[in-house]
Amino acid sequence: MRIYQLFSTLLACGIGFLISINSYSENSVLTQPIAEAEQSQNTVKNSTYLNEINDEDIMAISDELKAILDLNVRPIKRIEAKTIRLHEILFGSNYYNIRYAFDDTRIANDVFEARTGNCISLAALYVASARYVGLDAYFQSVDIEQTWEKRDGHYVVPGHVNARIAHPSKTIVVEFISTYFLETLSQKKSRKISDKRVFAEFYNNLGMEAFDAGHLERAETLLAKAVSKDKKLDFAWSNLGVIYKHQGKLDQAEKAYLKAQKLNKRNPTFANNLYVLYRETDQHKKAEALAKRVIKYNRKNPYYLAQLAQTDMATKHYDSAVEHLLNAIKIKPEEEQFYVELSKGYYYKGDLEGTKKALIGAATAANMPENQARYNHKVKLIEQYVNEAQLNTSRQAQF
């Protein structure tokens, strides 16, 4: 789902929608923006993806793949067995082993060639292949728990798309990524979506990838294409507003945000993005009308809570900082930096046991061995210090 004025983008799958990052306090007073050190690692795909792709390209499959399907899948008569065999051929580790990648929106044939893609791309490949071998396949959007992914200057709120196969007596849901399990997804609300909607979401994702790579004009072109394909795609309108805002087209940004909000009044992300725009353009009355809802929404965002903690530590309100960080960790326990900041909060409080526990958490969450080693070394130093202090206290008592 760069922290200056925090906005968010929404992705259909893999990427979703953008949330504006706003460094306001709980009483809605703007403070200085917080700079982020991380840089986007995304690279923009070639011009075919950016400017020349057509709807028919998204689900086109090669003659090579058709031949494979004709030989290995088409002869199977039973719907369920054919569905499973197709999934095994495309995604099984003993076959083509096509893998999920969060930021990798590709047309179906390129997914097959590259052996990678995000969920909307994998769904396009599977649905196209399933239809080719005679299965009644369609896309569905899955309502997953809202999460935030931190990017360079914004948050991404991912969505999820998978596939469903029509069957006379049972439900067959086709999933691609290990993050979501069928047992869990079966309990989530899902709805059938048209190919037209999928194509619009596809262009939305490409637009967001272009945005992350710093190509604003290309991002605008792709997002404009998305909303032209489906004028009711609310999050694409919001994302287009983000692009306009970064281009300095503030009136157009407001119109795009308002369009998104009109289409879906229940999505608080659109109110958040409008709030940030109004604050930055000194439209304080309009901003205040949205403030209560926006603050409530951001209270569920772990990175926003971490921002509050940073503000608290800067003003030496360490108890409050620790509370914010503990709440952030409850929402996203895998975020290494939350534990690092928590260790600082405990340290400034003089709570070495809390500092130690936070560093152990950071080591557990760390992906890089050198970070794990650094945190573990600090834990040992704390233990050594505490042991020496206890020994000195014991000696003084004996004396």
- Local structure of 366: helix, strand or coil: coil
Q: Using CA atoms in the order 358, 144, 95, 164, what is the torsion angle rounded to 10 degrees? A: 170
Confidence grade of residue 25 (pLDDT, cut at 50, 70, 90): very low
Q: What is the model's pLDDT at position 29?
A: 26
347: pLDDT strictly greater than 80: yes
Q: What is the model's pLDDT at position 291?
A: 83
pLDDT in tens, 166-177: 988 887 888 875
Q: Which residue would you say has higher pLDDT here, 47 or 136? A: 136
Would you say how long the chain is, in residues?
399
- Full-model pTM: 0.70
Q: How far apart are the C-alpha atoms of 117 and 177, rounded to whole Å?
A: 10
354: pLDDT strictly greater than 80: yes
Mean pLDDT for the chain? Answer: 81
- Local structure of 52: helix, strand or coil: helix
Widest Cα–Cα separation across the chain = 90
Q: What is the mean pLDDT of residues 3-11?
A: 43
340 and 360 Cβ atoms separated by less than 8 Å: no
385: pLDDT strictly greater than 60: yes
Q: Which residue would you say has higher pLDDT here, 304 or 130? A: 130
pLDDT in tens, 278-318: 988 999 899 889 888 888 877 887 877 887 788 778 888 89
Q: What is the model's pLDDT at position 152?
A: 66
Q: What is the model's pLDDT at position 154?
A: 66
Q: What is the model's pLDDT at position 306?
A: 84
Low-confidence winner among 97-106, 129-138, 214-223 (lowest mean pLDDT): 97-106
- Local structure of 53: helix, strand or coil: coil
Q: How far apart are the C-alpha atoms of 260 and 243, rounded to whole Å?
A: 14
Q: Which residue would you say has higher pLDDT here, 151 or 330? A: 330
Q: What is the model's pLDDT at position 122?
A: 94
Q: Which residue would you say has higher pLDDT here, 65 or 48? A: 65
Q: Which residues contact 180 (CB under 8 A, 6 or more apart)?
A: 142, 144, 160, 162
Question: Going by DSSP bridges, is the β-strand pair 155-156/190-193 parallel, antiparallel, or unpaired?
Answer: unpaired
Q: How far apart are the C-alpha atoms of 378 and 373, rounded to whole Å?
A: 9
